[in-house]
Every structure is written in structure tokens, then in C-alpha cells.
């Protein structure tokens, strides 16, 4: 018997009508595809680039030239051997104090005369004989001129004894007086010549002699020329020295100056009298104050740590005030030198990290309404951290610090938030 349901459904209709649950199941793949496309679109949609901002503001600006330097004793003296000989051991050490004209640095035993070989001795004896013969000749010449002088004086005295007028003419009187004076001068010249011969003979005989050099009264004491302390001992052990051999170096370590090798392009901006800050001389101690005293006119070539040739100039600075803690500074101590070459109390300044160069023009990105706007500017002085702005920016403008390469004019940007 047929049921009502069997009459309502046709035999060929094998599918049942779809229910609501079945429709949801069929729409899930499409929903997932749409969601995936939405996620892909959201991922590909350009997002604001995260950057850091800086603010343009008015502030004081000081331009300094920074370089590594070192201390050095202002006046140093190198004591050298005054004579050749055997120098005794130097008893002083670096740091020992000495007094000018009193402290004996060392003693030198002058070298004895060298021995003569047979040929040199024969030549020296021949020289002695030659001077002895010259002395005999000079003695005979002196005797001859003395006899001539005696004769001339006798004629002059006889002439003076005749007082009658007309007995002797005036010319004869003058001739006799002149002859006596000439003979007297020749006698004195002969005496001087004999003295010269005696000195030459003594010198020639001294060559043949060899005095002992080890006498106690023959030692030469080398004394300190100044009051100070020993900086360096070049030759400490006993040795044979020649005149001019450096022995030690003396100076006053309390009288120091600062030496710095400045790049020539920075040295042209410096001048004597500029203020100097000496830093890194003792841990966290406050900087020492100084003044530039001299900038040497000649530069020299120096190879940097990167192998680049640089032209540098030596700049010397004096300490204005030396605190008690800085009195321990010695010779050749390392310091950091910062020379003030320009200062202004109120300038419009922008962080230097916001600037970059395109060709010969300085530019920066300004933050406006969520986007970066490329702006050319004109700059002035810079200390490496802040740069003076002459035109192109206003106080309060926000600029991008170290913008990445992805930033262009009009790029959407947002500020980095520190977590």
C-alpha cells in the first residue's frame, strides 16, 4: 500500500532538498578564499615606515676640533759628554731630582794620549829637532839685533853729547834717532819670535809624552745644567764616550704643555688664544682648561690607521689652571684635546643625523600630516651633533633622523614607539 510520501516524490527524483546546514558547509571554501584574498591585500597594502623624529629648535652651538694629544715637558735638556774618555756608571734613575750646578750626573776620565807607532814617533822627534834648530837661529838673530841696537844707541848718545850748533846737521840727528828706534823694535820682534819658537818646541815635545789619564785630579764631573728631575737615561752603564754622546735627559715635569697633531684643514680654523678642553686625562675627571699658544707653520705627512696619508700640523696649548689632581700628569701622557673654534649662544639648529647631501645641496625630510616631505636647506656651522640652519626650516619642525632608503618624498611614515 502506497504511503502519502511515496505519492509526493517522483521515482526519478533521487535527491533530497538541501537543508540550511548543508548550505553553510558549501559556502565555507568560498568564505576562506575571500578571507585569504583579503589578508593578501592587507599584507600588500603599503604601511607607514617606522622612523625616528628630531625637532628643529634654537639652541647654543659650539664648534670644536677634537683630536688625540699628549703632554710634554716644555723645556727639556739633553746632557751630553763634554770630552772623550771613559764614563763611569750613571747613579741616577728616571724620576730622581737634580739641582742646577750641584748634582753630579756622572764623571768622565779623559782618554789618555794614544801610543805612537815608530813612524809617527820618528816624525814627532824630527819636528822637535826642527823647532830646536829654529830656536838656535832665533837666538843668534836676537843676539845680532841686540848688538846692532847697542851700536845705534851709542851713536845716538854721542850725537846728543855734542851740543854746539852746526857740528852735526839736523838730518844726521834724525837719522841716528830713527836708527836707534828701529833697532829697538827689531830687538823686541826677535824676542817675540824666540817666545813663539819656545811654545812650538814645547808643543812638539808634548806629542812625544804620554801623561797618565787615571789621576784623581784629572776626572771631569758632569753636573746638571737645570733644576728638575731625570726624564730618561740614555746611557747608564760605564762605557767609552766621545764628545757629544747623549747621557740623560732632564726637565721639569710640573711645567708641561699639550701637543696635538691636528689635520691641516682643521688647523686653518684655529688661532692662538682659542679655548681648549683637555679630556680623558684621568678617568671621569672634569676637563682641564687651556689656551692654544702656538700653531706650527709647517705640516707633515702621517699615515693613518686606515693607511691614508694625512697632512697634520702640531698645535701647542698651555694649561690655564692646574688642579692638584692634574699635577700627577707627566711627560708623554695621552689626553683628548677639544679646541673651540666657533661659538654662538642662539642659533636655529637641526640634528645632523637628519641631513643628507644630494650633489651640492643639503636636504632633509620634514614630517607633515603623516608623510615625509623632501626639503632642501642651507646649513652653516656644525659640531657633528647639531648643525646650524640658515634657511629652509623653522623652529618646531619635526625631521626624520637617519631616514632609510625606502623613504621618498610623500612616503607615509610613523614615529617609532619604544616598548
Name the residue ranges covered by the structural domains of the chain.
54-71+254-415, 76-112+215-251, 118-208
Bridge partner residues of 177 (DSSP): none
Q: Which of 89-103, 182-196, 276-290, 309-323 shows the lowest per-residue confidence on average (mean pLDDT)?
A: 182-196
Matching fold, domains 54-71+254-415 and 76-112+215-251: no
Q: Are 49 and 414 in contact (CB under 8 A)?
A: yes
Q: Helices H, strands E: what count in the chain?
A: 5, 22
pTM exceeds 0.75, yes or no: no
pLDDT digits 0-9 by tens, 245-269: 999 999 988 889 999 999 999 999 9
Which fold, 76-112+215-251? OB fold (Dihydrolipoamide Acetyltransferase, E2P) (2.40.50)
Could you tell me the CA-to-CA distances from 231 to 75, 131, 327 in Å, in that order?
11, 53, 16
Instruction: Say yes or no to pLDDT of 1 above 50.
Output: no
Task: Tell me the mean pLDDT in the region 133-154.
Answer: 86
Instruction: Say yes or no to pLDDT of 216 above 70.
Output: no
Between the two ends of the chain, the Cα-to-Cα distance in Å is 80
CA nearest neighbour of 317 among 299, 300, 340, 293: 293
| Gap between the Cα atoms of 273 and 133, Å rounded | 74
Q: Are 340 and 63 in contact (CB under 8 A)?
A: yes
* b/e per residue 19-52 (b: at least 16 CB within 10 A): eeeeeeeeeeeeeeeeeeeeeeeeeeeeeebebe
pLDDT digits 0-9 by tens, 333-388: 999 999 999 999 999 999 999 999 988 899 999 999 888 999 999 999 998 899 99
Which fold, 54-71+254-415? Elongation Factor Tu (Ef-tu); domain 3 (2.40.30)
Task: Tell me the mean pLDDT in the region 47-70.
Answer: 91
Amino acid at each position: 500500500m502506497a504511503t502519502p510520501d511515496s505519492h509526493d516524490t517522483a521515482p526519478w527524483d533521487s535527491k533530497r532538498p538541501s537543508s540550511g546546514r548543508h548550505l553553510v558547509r558549501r559556502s565555507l571554501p568560498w568564505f576562506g578564499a575571500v578571507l585569504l584574498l583579503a589578508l593578501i591585500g592587507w599584507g600588500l597594502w603599503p604601511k607607514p615606515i617606522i622612523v625616528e623624529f628630531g625637532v628643529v629648535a634654537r639652541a647654543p652651538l659650539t664648534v670644536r676640533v677634537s683630536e688625540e694629544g699628549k703632554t710634554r715637558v716644555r723645556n727639556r735638556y739633553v746632557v751630553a759628554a763634554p770630552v772623550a774618555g771613559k764614563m763611569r756608571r750613571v747613579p741616577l734613575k728616571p724620576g730622581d731630582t737634580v739641582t742646577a750646578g750641584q748634582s753630579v750626573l756622572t764623571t768622565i776620565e779623559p782618554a789618555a794620549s794614544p801610543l805612537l807607532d815608530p813612524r809617527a814617533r820618528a816624525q814627532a822627534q824630527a819636528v822637535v829637532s826642527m823647532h830646536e834648530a829654529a830656536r838656535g837661529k832665533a837666538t843668534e838673530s836676537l843676539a845680532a839685533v841686540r848688538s846692532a841696537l847697542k851700536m845705534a844707541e851709542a851713536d845716538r848718545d854721542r850725537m846728543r853729547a855734542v851740543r854746539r850748533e852746526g857740528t852735526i846737521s839736523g838730518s844726521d840727528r834724525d837719522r841716528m834717532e830713527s836708527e836707534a828706534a828701529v833697532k829697538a823694535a827689531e830687538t823686541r820682534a826677535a824676542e817675540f819670535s824666540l817666545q813663539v819658537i819656545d811654545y812650538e818646541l814645547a808643543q812638539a815635545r808634548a806629542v812625544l809624552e804620554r801623561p797618565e789619564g787615571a789621576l784623581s785630579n784629572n776626572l771631569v764631573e758632569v753636573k746638571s745644567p737645570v733644576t728638575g728631575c731625570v726624564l730618561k737615561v740614555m746611557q747608564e752603564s760605564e762605557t767609552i764616550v766621545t764628545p757629544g754622546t747623549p747621557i740623560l735627559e732632564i726637565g721639569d715635569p710640573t711645567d708641561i704643555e699639550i701637543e696635538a697633531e691636528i689635520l691641516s684643514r682643521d688647523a686653518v680654523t684655529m688661532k692662538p688664544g682659542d679655548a681648549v678642553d683637555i679630556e680623558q686625562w684621568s678617568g671621569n675627571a672634569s676637563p682641564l682648561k687651556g689656551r692654544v699658544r702656538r700653531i706650527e707653520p709647517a705640516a707633515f705627512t702621517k699615515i693613518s690607521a686606515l693607511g691614508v696619508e694625512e697632512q697634520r700640523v702640531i698645535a701647542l696649548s698651555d694649561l690655564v689652571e692646574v688642579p692638584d689632581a692634574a699635577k700627577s700628569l707627566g711627560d708623554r701622557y695621552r689626553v683628548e684635546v677639544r679646541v673651540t673654534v666657533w661659538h654662538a649662544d642662539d642659533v636655529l639648529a637641526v640634528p645632523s643625523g637628519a641631513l643628507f647631501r644630494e650633489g651640492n645641496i643639503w636636504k632633509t625630510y620634514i614630517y607633515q600630516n603623516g608623510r615625509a616631505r623632501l626639503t632642501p636647506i642651507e646649513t652653516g656651522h656644525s659640531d657633528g651633533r647639531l648643525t646650524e640652519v640658515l634657511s629652509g626650516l623653522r623652529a618646531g619642525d619635526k625631521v626624520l633622523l637617519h631616514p632609510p632608503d625606502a623613504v621618498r618624498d610623500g612616503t607615509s611614515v610613523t614615529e617609532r614607539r619604544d616598548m
